[in-house]
Amino acid sequence: MNLQSIFDKRLLNKIILCILPVLLISVILIIYAKSIDYKVIGGDDEKFTLLLNPQYTSKGIVKRIFSSNVFPDTAGSYYRPILTLSFYFDNKISGNNLSLPASHTINILLHIVSVLLFFRFLCRYYFDIYKSFIASLVFAVSPVISETVVWLPGRNDSILFIFILFSFMFFINCNENEKNKETHLTFHLMLYFMALLTKESAVVFPLLCFCYMVIKQYPEKLKFCLYWFVLTLVYLIIRNQITDLHYTWHYILNLKNLVINLNMVFDYFSSVFFISEIHTFTSVKILTFVKGILMIALLLFFAIRTSNRKICIFFFFWAIMFLLPNFFVERAHFQGNRMYVPMAGLIICAVMVVESIIKTRLQKYIFTTILVFFVSVSIVKTNHRIVNFQDAISFWHYEKTNNYTIWSAQQYAFALSNNGYYAEAMKEFEDLIYDRKIATKDIVLNYSLVCRLSGDIDKADRLLNDFNINSNAN
């Protein structure tokens, strides 16, 4: 091979390396650009935007963000100042005003940064540019993690992903390159601490790094463990001073929902690979267990047979470890955003498995066909799913219709009444109270309020009398 052909090949690789990120960005924008005009669906997104917006212009708000629960000046068990700070910046970018389009745009940009960072990470350490592109494309279009982009508080996991992946890259560089070793160490530790201030699940990151040190036979394990211990201890002390630990331990020691929390793993694994049954509110199903166990078994079976099996298995457990903190908290639902960081590990593991299996040209053709089908279905599913996040009525109607729970039916009725659809809301409340015999105080009071707003005062009063509820009850 002459110098000219070598030069031409390098030039071609540089051009491709510039084109592929542009393609990733284009695909993300095509899918998610419509979400810029979406509203809130109620819950945490409403708190961070509509309810907290007046506080973002108050004096000393940044100090209160770092010295309060995730929602400033309230009690709770979540200390996530980076998340709250991101909504504060949304307010500043919008000229001290509430701008949902600006917030949704930030979510899309965070997803773009995450995907490009993932692409860069894979190119640098594990795969060629084509395999890295395929892995990043699957990550970019997955319907399982679409909630991270279209649900405003879902950005917590994309921010966490950016901090964790950057920290991991500096960690690898620190151990594999003597040049700028101290700088890489400083950034690794700083980004780890930022990840802790973003979400509690970052606490498992040092354990993963330690395992990676063992696999790669890096030296200075004790030094790194000391640094991680100190930073984690500082974080826990700060968190202890700010959050309600009684509330935290109450849920950590409550094991009654263990079966549901275990189902979370099978639900996520099933959803990632079969792209089916993707709901925010899920129930325990035998089929979900079977599909989830099947994928876990297949991944582990082939992972231990890859030439790079230690790294392959490491990234499998990357997914498990980042899901692990969810086992210790009561979960009513499994938002897809919680799968954002774990999914990166699953994708790397899956690519390594496929890489070891595919040998012949025929196998490559078959795999390419399956891949094109998988990505196409993912894009269609993602488009279908994110539309349901455009407002509260759309979201709760979808959840109620496709995966009925009392909670989703109740929230759908609330959404209808809050948006002035009183006749439709009354039907939903009647179904809950009379047909399903769910007559909680909250439901009855809201049904009575809807009756008043629709002009039927007598029915509202009669309803309160029938259920012996004081009209002045909160």
Mean pLDDT of 64-73: 82
Of 30 and 266, the one with more pLDDT: 30
Of 329 and 272, the one with more pLDDT: 272
Note whether 400 and 412 are within 8 A (CB). yes
What pLDDT sits at residue 265?
A: 77
Average per-residue pLDDT in the chain? 85
Q: How far apart are CA 141 and CA 382, in angstroms?
A: 7
What pLDDT sits at residue 474?
A: 45
Taking only the tens place, the pLDDT of each residue in 416-470 is: 888 888 888 888 888 888 777 777 777 888 888 888 888 878 887 787 777 776 6
- Domains in the chain: boundaries: 403-466
DSSP 92: H
Taking only the tens place, the pLDDT of each residue in 376-403 is: 999 999 998 899 899 888 888 888 887 7
CA-wise closest residue to 269 among 297, 310, 233, 232: 297
What pLDDT sits at residue 373?
A: 93
Q: How far apart are CA 239 and CA 192, in angstroms?
A: 16
Q: Is the pLDDT of residue 249 over 60?
A: no
DSSP conformation letters of 439-473: --HHHHHHHHHHHHHTT-HHHHHHHHHHTT--TT-
Note whether 208 and 318 are within 8 A (CB). yes
Q: How far apart are CA 4 and CA 203, in angstroms?
A: 51
Q: What's the predicted TM-score (pTM) here?
A: 0.89
What pLDDT sits at residue 105?
A: 95
Burial 332-350 (b: 16+ CB within 10 A, else e): ebbbbbbbbbbbbbbbbbb
Taking only the tens place, the pLDDT of each residue in 139-181 is: 999 998 999 999 999 999 999 999 999 999 999 999 988 888 9
What pLDDT sits at residue 328?
A: 65
What pLDDT sits at residue 184?
A: 94
Of 446 and 37, the one with more pLDDT: 37
Taking only the tens place, the pLDDT of each residue in 288-316 is: 778 888 888 999 999 998 888 999 999 99
Instruction: Give the confidence band of 250 by pLDDT, cuts at 50, 70, 90.
Output: low
What pLDDT sits at residue 157?
A: 94
DSSP conformation letters of 273-301: HH-----SS----HHHHHHHHHHHHHHHH
Q: Is the pLDDT of residue 256 over 60?
A: no
Residue 206 φ/ψ, nearest 5 degrees: -60, -35
CA dihedral 99, 101, 102, 104 (to 10 degrees): 120
Amino acid residing at 121: F
- Per mean pLDDT, which range of 24-33, 126-135, 397-406 is the poorest? 397-406
